[in-house]
Structure 1
């Protein structure tokens, strides 16, 4: 009986390892940066109120996370994303004067339903903290952003709220004016414990303490 039980346990473990690798070690779905090959010359003024849109295309609005998942003897980077993003920014005389972006954390998806359920319910606790936000707190000059379809960069200072905790953030963002679009993207480094995000004792994987919040915004007037 003992031998049979040991054999059964071994069989379960052997069957579980490929499943664990599929669920926790696939690369997920990452929010990438601005696709420069899709840029064109700007066709509208910079000043005005720009609102996040979710139109399909190579630079469609998206936001998400990237972290390392760790199993004994192996470590791999994985990501999850959502297109549930809304908000707006205001530009006056070439200066970004205000802005707030909100991300619906309840729709974060990778390429594994089991991971997604763990991320939403056990890591970000989206039933209690369904949204994350980034609010601009200091004006920034955008007048040097090219209007010829090439990409520029600006340093934005603001406050980022995740899991109900707010921290100051200063980060360089890529910015491009393309046709009627204002495109903004960045990979923002975070230490998840700064936001009170703790990793649960998952069966197959643990989440590293340091990661990124990935953002790409397609905004139009």
Structure 2
């Protein structure tokens, strides 16, 4: 009888351990395989003709769905069992742009890196604390370098493509970039989006040793901005 009782107890302990390992496996699988939250391109399918002149001082606003202002990243990762793509983003974006005589004469966009989020909380903490070190570098910025012609951006709600050179700063390190933005004027707003190709090593963005996945050196900074005139 005693042996049978011990056998039942041992079986229950084994079952509990197996279930615990299974649950841990599901958590780890989600942590390293969930695709994250990506900043998408502008959706101009419902854009309407402009109702205000393009000249003036424009400010980043939250905007309306699906064109909420958002900035994030997308990188490929290699795991022992598969390759995947992971994204993170934040809607905590501020900034201004000044347009004179249909030329972009200045612009500065600021991203709150402490608010960057994927769809996994534990991964968010690692991304902020270990990869971007947001306590030391809480902001990333993009600042326009030279005057850019915007005459091709019409008032007819049609998407134009504009190359806007600037300086991208992440983790306190700055690099010149030359992204092409999709731009459309939608009533009283200007909507812009771009995918900026970067090498994370240029910005000191290193993969922590404890992360099982091998993160690609090259990836994208995804930008979507909704702006209103002040």
TM-score (norm 2): 0.88
- Which of the residues 50, 55, 60 maps onto 1:47? 55
Q: CA separation in 2, counterparts of 1:12 and 1:208? A: 32
Distance in 2 (CA, whole Å) between partners of 1:169 and 1:162 is 12
Select the residue among 179, 184, 189 that pairs with 2:187: 179
1:210 matched to 2:218: yes
Match of residue 4 from structure 2: none
Query: 2:151 matched to 1:143?
Result: yes
Alpha-carbon distance in 1 for matches of 2:112, 2:34 = 23
Superposition RMSD in Å: 1.9
Structure 1 equivalent of residue 45 of structure 2? 37
Q: Are 1:153 and 2:169 counterparts?
A: no
Contact persistence 1:132–1:161 (CA under 8 A): yes
In terms of Rg, which structure is larger?
2
Return the alpha-carbon distance in structure 2 between the equivalents of residues 151 and 196 of structure 1: 35
4+ runs of 1 displaced by more than 4 Å? 7-15
Say whether residues 1:123 and 2:135 are aligned partners. no
**Secondary structure of residue in 1 paired with 2:42:** coil
1:198 aligns with 2:212: no
* Alpha-carbon offset, residue 201 of structure 1: 1.5
Query: C-alpha deviations, 1:24-68, integer Å up to 9, x for none?
Result: 211111000001213111111010010001134221101111112
* 2:165 aligned counterpart, secondary structure: strand
Q: Unaligned regions of 5+ residues in structure 2, if any?
A: 1-14
Aligned counterparts of 1:203 and 1:213: Cα–Cα separation in 2: 21
TM-score, normalising length from structure 1? 0.92
Count of paired positions = 216
